[in-house]
Structure 1
């Protein structure tokens, strides 16, 4: 990450997942990175996207410390106990919609609220979104709650970036599509997906080129700017 200052501080939220863990590993191997902090359900302090208080308390635990130069939110949900992505309207149900939105949109919105202030003056915050959250690019339909929750995440990120540009002009907020990565999330659908470290290396290369003018944008792991 040559665009970040020497001795930069990084934070990975969702570090227990395949992609989040790969972010931690790759960043720790960067000789220019001084610290990599991890947050998730099993860390201390813990951060659970379904628990607003845990998000606030995790952020408060960093008050008084030096700001972060890089924050990555790598958590999300596609399916869970008792539900899979919906293929038809008759499959829609409130419980699945609420659970998916909580982890993919509402929790991340609260992360933005509490962690954007912890970024340095030229800090970079990235949330992992998904290309299927693009409304303009939706040609196949299906996956209702996942698509809609990621579209909501994109809007939340874009709106936060507009506010940040007014209040903290140097801070950069972007959404990233990681591609299909070998993980628990993708295993039932694409078992032969890319390795997490490969995906993370691609995404960090994209992030290394993000400027203040790119804040609020939606990028693929290949660096392509994706449509909303």
Structure 2
């Protein structure tokens, strides 16, 4: 093989994780929210009543309501974000059609601002502008921070959120569904799940597994503890 030939391609020695996809944020947020909110809900109801049936009913209702709410909220949020991005992309597309020379000059100036020599920047802008689709992609990425082919999917976000919330929310409810009527069993499973979920998230972040795990555990325990105390207080007053 030739060394440094014009047809050679640079060898890539590393890979990046997907940071723009529409699944990661709703999945992580959904699982954490489902686990924390339903653990706190079950703890609060258990603190205010001795009826296992009421606790289970509250847990099931919390799972269903939360999952549908999360999915609907994510769908509307991501759909609105996508529609706004598409509207701005259409603005850029029309500008490229009406004022191609001005847009080419603008692109050259963007490269110059990033340290490219003026003559080189002008030539790069000229070559990119020969392909309208490529020019649109480069312009929108530079000016809007998005590309037409990488916009998040509302359906993906909604489904990911619904599924992950359901998985997270069923964990504190699982001991009751299996016949264990003690809040202690639910709390132990929830705490282990909170730490495990936090540690798992560290695989897609820069944090250590123990830090992420302890942080998530602390958030869940505080939420459940406060809700349990509130349920116990209200239950003790006969409300």
Question: Quick one: higher RCO (CA 8 Å, sep 6+), 1 or 2?
Answer: 2
Alignment TM class, shorter chain as reference: under 0.3
Q: Per residue, is there more helix in 1 or in 2?
A: 2
TM-score scaled by length of structure 1: 0.24
Task: Give 1 or 2: higher strand fraction.
Answer: 1
